[in-house]
Structures are given as structure tokens and as C-alpha cells.
Amino acid sequence: MQKLRAYWLLSKPRVTLLVWLTTVAGLVLGGRGQTLQGGLIVATLIGSWLVIASANALNQAIEWRRDAQMPRTAMRPIPSGQISPLEGWVVGAVWGVLGVLTLALWVSSAVAWLGALSILLYAFVYTPLKPQTHFSTAIGAIPGAIPPMAGWVAAQGSFSLEAWLLFALQFVWQFSHFWAIAWLYRDDYARTGFRMLPYPDASAVATARLSLAYTLAMVAISLMFAPLATHGWLYVLGALTLGYWALRATLRFLKASDPTEGARGVLRSSVLYLPLLLAWMILTL
């Protein structure tokens, strides 16, 4: 049981759940007005979970030595010795193969390709780039934005404007979220060689200003869904309310006398903003 728990933790279950729920949202939004087959729904949910878990597991197998140097990550399964790096590679690879095959056989080839692309970009492009360049965040945001698009494509069978808008929304959302984390753990990241701030030696004010710019872009993209809503004014009301909340948190970060507390506020609001907005979309679009 201890080994199984270690494998479970290897998937970063909380992160996997949050990302997986965006796939669910894409599937629900894409399935409006039609009856989806039960097999397609189950395969999408299982395959997408395995794909996300695979990317997270391979990420840990690659950077476990650096994880061991940071208090926040030192107790992850590999650096803590619960499983070996080889086991991490094997489990991550098996999950990835099973996830992509599930999507290919029972959903569609397009969704399977999206799943494979997300694993490759996250584990083998973003992860190695983290110690090399601050632009790794932009690369990592691509696989991070694929899940809601994949859910939509699974339901619709093709790409569309809505799929790309979901991708764009989640892509832009990630910057403020990850820069808040980068500011909170900047000393750990610097000590282990990760370059996670928006640019080298970025101050709290510079980080907050860029977070504000991306939050404004995120709110703008969220409003682009209004013409697609059954009750456009109702959707806009909710989107603006959530957008105001996110912007207020970022402004507090910008003006905070204690930047650490300001970054925590951005992190808290970002974690809640995306699922709340997607839930509001489901209710009003």
C-alpha cells in the first residue's frame, strides 16, 4: 500500500485534478446540445487523467535531484526514496502510453495527438528548459492549456473557435499563477538553478506589473465568450465579477508593502478563478 501511495503521489494528484477538471469543462462545453456516447466520455476522462499524470511523473523523474534540494519538494516520492528514479520513468511512461492509446482507440486521433504533444512539451521541453531560460514558463503554458481544448475536440470531433478560445484563456491564466509561485519560492528556485521569474532578477514590482498585464489579457479573453452565451449579459456579469476579483488581487500584489503576502493573494485567487469561470461558462453558455 505504501508503494501504491507513492505512485499516486507521483502523479501530483492535486495538480492533476485541477488540470483534469479543465478537460471535463471542455468536454461539457463541447457537448452542449448533443448526446455524447458513454464510452467516449469515460475514455476521455480516463485517458486525459493518465496523460496529465504521466507528464507530472516524468517531470519528477527528470528533476528529482533539484527537488531534493527544496523543502517544498524534498518529500516527493523520488527524492524521499519512496520509489527509485527508474520506477518514476517506467510508471510515467506506462501512464503516458496507456493514456494516449485510450484516447486514440476510443476518442479520436486528434485528441490522442494533443495528449502526446502535451506530454512531450511538458516533460521533454519545458522541464529541461527550466534551469536554462525564463522563457520556459511560456513553453510550459502550452501543454498546460491543451486539456480544455482536448475536451472540446473530444466532444465536437474537430477544432473550432471555441476550442482555441479555451486554449488561449488557460494559456494566459497560467502566467500570473506561476509567477506568484515563483516569487514565493524564488530563493529555493535560485538555489537549485531554476529560472522561473518573468526575467532574470525580476523584482516584486516587475513581477506584479507583468502579472497585471496578463490578468488583463485573461479577462479580455474571457469576455470573448459572451457572443456564444445563451444569455450573454448574464455570462458577462459573472465574468466581469471574477475578473475584477483577479485584477484586485494582482493590484494588491503590485502595491503591497509585503510582496510575499501579495503573491499569496494572487496565487489563491488564480487557483479559484479558473474553475469558477469554467463552471459559470457551463451554466450560462
At 181, list the grid cell: 509561485
Cβ neighbours of residue 12 under 8 Å, at least 6 residues apart?
A: 53, 56, 60
Grade residue 228 by pLDDT with cuts at 50, 70 and 90.
confident
Is the pLDDT at 201 greater than 90, yes or no?
A: no
Check residue 5 and give its pLDDT.
Answer: 95
Torsion of CA 131, 136, 141, 146, to 10 degrees: -90
- Give the tens place of pLDDT for each residue, 91-150: 999 999 999 999 999 999 999 999 999 999 999 999 999 999 999 999 999 999 999 999
Check residue 273 and give its pLDDT.
Answer: 97
Grade residue 245 by pLDDT with cuts at 50, 70 and 90.
very high
Grade residue 158 by pLDDT with cuts at 50, 70 and 90.
very high
| Chain length of the chain | 285
The CB-side HSE value for 191 (13 A sphere, CA atoms) comes to: 12
Check residue 177 and give its pLDDT.
Answer: 97
Check residue 285 and give its pLDDT.
Answer: 82
Cβ neighbours of residue 109 under 8 Å, at least 6 residues apart?
A: none
- Give the tens place of pLDDT for each residue, 33-89: 888 999 999 999 999 999 999 999 999 999 999 999 999 999 999 999 999 999 999
pTM for this model (two decimals):
0.95
Overall average pLDDT of the 161-165 stretch: 96
Grade residue 1 by pLDDT with cuts at 50, 70 and 90.
confident
Which of 152, 172, 170 is CA-nearest to residue 161?
152
Q: Which amino acid, 207? A: T
Question: What DSSP string runs through 195-238?
Answer: --SSSTT--HHHHHHHHHHHHHHHHHHHHTTGGGSTTHHHHHHH
Burial pattern 42-77, b for ≥16 Cβ within 10 A else e, equals ebbbbbbbbbbbbbbbbbbbbbbebbbebeebeebb
> Taking all residues of the chain, what is their mean pLDDT, rounded to a whole number?
96
